[in-house]
Amino acid sequence: MTAKPRPELSLFDSTCLIVGIIIGAGIYQMAPDIAKGVGNGWGVLGIWALGGLLSLCGALSYAELATAYPQEGGDYVYLSRAYGKWAGFLFGWAQLAIVRPGDIAVMAFAFATYARAIYDPLAHTAFPHSQQVYAIAAVVVLTLINVLGVRTGKWTQNLLTTVKAVGLLMVVAAAFMTVPSRPAVPVAGELPFSLALIFVLFTYGGWNEMAYVAAEVRDPRRNIARALLLGTGVVMVLYLMVNGAFLHTLGHAGMTASEAVAADALATVFPRAASTLISALICVSALGAVSGLIFTGARISYAVAMDHRLFRWLGQWHPVRGTPTAALLVQGGIAVTLIALLGSFVDAVLYTAATVYSFYMASTLAVVVLARTSEPPWFSVMPMPIHSARRCCSGASVSSYVSASRRSPSNVHSAGSRCSKGMAACVIVVGHRVPCSTCPWR
């Protein structure tokens, strides 16, 4: 008998997976630019809260999707049901060859960048590729950990997520325990509010990964929704606390002028060690994201293999370890190849952006198609008034993306793709639960 996924992920495991993937390096790199999109400190907190609420809208919608389709594969399942197996096949192939290895490479490069700042044994040698060595090492080690078993994979994810969350809380505590040292500097430039909101949404990206492992969640009809809400909510609270700490220490103007906002905020407490401490925290954050992406990404390939003979060899679920071993190894091999060939963080982002955006737009249309059908029976995760509120939120988010893309399309390409994906999920759920007379497409 062929081994299949077993429900081994508890509510805590699922929540750590979401939090671990969402919190990467974005909060440290994008906070100053986001602050430029608002006029004062309250505006900073407001835009981060708004981004969190919009992400919660998407999380609630994906909770309903994943509850209705409690299978491995996430978007692969939804696209296959909407358009047919050919669409799911293209999505699965693109995820295996381009999107998921590229995402892993992006976060591995982020880890490597800050790891080199702490210790670079090759700095004074003629070998110019130490960043790639660090990135490849991260992918290889975390892939092997996930191959060893779902338990080792989830325990590693839980550890990395816990460390990064505790680290952020320590940064917040240290900042609020010090006397503010706000430099008398003018606000460094301005940014359109809509573009700043897109950056916020990008830092919240990743909550949708829960859908890819739905079949491995215990009591999925209860825990998927809980994990999505709890994970996104925890990230929202952490982000608000961290930005509050930045504002307390540096002020709004100082925050916009900072090139390393977390290190500058912590420098008032640890003037000599601030840079190293923040670099170490970002390394842990990036590793947590890499681990989560590896864990969930292989489940997409496994789901595709179950339906398509060409990928059937990727659908081998190890009966003892409880992992899609072949899918994990192939995914890791492609990611390592991309790291070696692309060579930088920016090139890795550009490699994935166009493909990601195309499939997320397809998902947007797919949910409308599914909304016109009568199957499956949907399990509502919230009362009707909140569905209406979510539709308003989704419309506001999409409008923000359109406005931002007109001003600076090159900067919001990747962030917009994640936004469209989450808001697409909102559309399908609203379409199913709102009476037919109020649905514009019926």
pLDDT tens figures, 259-295: 778 888 888 778 778 888 888 999 999 999 999 999 9
pLDDT tens figures, 7-32: 889 999 999 999 999 998 888 888 88
Q: At what angle do helices 85-94 and 345-371 cross, to 10 degrees?
A: 160
CA distances (Å), 359 to each of 112, 203, 331, 364, 369, in order?
29, 20, 19, 9, 15
Asked if pLDDT for residue 253 goes beyond 60, the answer is yes
Q: At what angle do helices 193-203 and 409-433 cross, to 10 degrees?
A: 70
pLDDT tens figures, 326-384: 889 999 999 999 999 887 766 776 676 667 667 766 765 665 676 666 455 444 444 43
Domains of the chain: 11-438 (1.20.1740.10)
pLDDT tens figures, 401-417: 444 444 444 444 444 44
**437: confidence class by pLDDT, cuts 50, 70, 90:** very low
Task: Give residue 181's pLDDT.
Answer: 63
Percent of the chain exceeding pLDDT 70 equals 74
pLDDT tens figures, 159-207: 999 999 999 998 899 888 877 666 566 665 677 888 888 888 878 888 7
Rounded-to-integer distance, Cα 203 and Cα 103, Å: 14
What's the whole-number mean pLDDT along residues 127-140?
89
Tokens of 85: 């197996």
Tokens of 28: 């440290």
Residue ranges of the alpha helices (H) in 69-149?
Answer: 75-83, 85-94, 100-118, 130-148
CA distances (Å), 133 to each of 15, 187, 309, 413, in order?
31, 38, 35, 28
- Which three-class secondary structure state does DSSP give residue 159? helix
Most confident of 39-53, 59-73, 172-186: 39-53
pLDDT tens figures, 74-107: 778 878 887 888 888 888 888 888 888 988 998 8
User: Within 10 A of 124 (CB to CB), how many other CB atoms are there?
Assistant: 7
Tokens of 387: 């569905």
DSSP type of residue 315 = G
Higher-pLDDT residue of 312, 369? 312
Buried b (16+ CB within 10 A) or exposed e, 410-424: ebbbbbbbbbbbbbb
Contact 117, 280 (CB under 8 A): no
HEC string for 348-400? HHHHHHHHHHHHHHHHHHHHHHHHCCCCCCCCCCCCHHHHHHHHHHHHHHHHH
Task: Give residue 189's pLDDT.
Answer: 63
Rounded-to-integer distance, Cα 149 and Cα 222, Å: 25
Rounded-to-integer distance, Cα 406 and Cα 401, Å: 9
For every residue of 172-228, DSSP letters joined together read: HHHHHTSPP------------HHHHHHHHHHHTTTGGGGGGBGGGBSSHHHHHHHHH
Rounded-to-integer distance, Cα 283 and Cα 278, Å: 8
Task: Give residue 433's pLDDT.
Answer: 35
Rounded-to-integer distance, Cα 78 and Cα 359, Å: 12
Residue ranges of the alpha helices (H) in 258-344?
Answer: 261-266, 274-307, 325-342
Task: Give residue 122's pLDDT.
Answer: 74
User: Within 10 A of 12 (CB to CB), how many other CB atoms are there?
Assistant: 15
pLDDT tens figures, 214-245: 788 888 878 888 898 899 999 999 999 999 99
Rounded-to-integer distance, Cα 209 and Cα 74, Å: 8
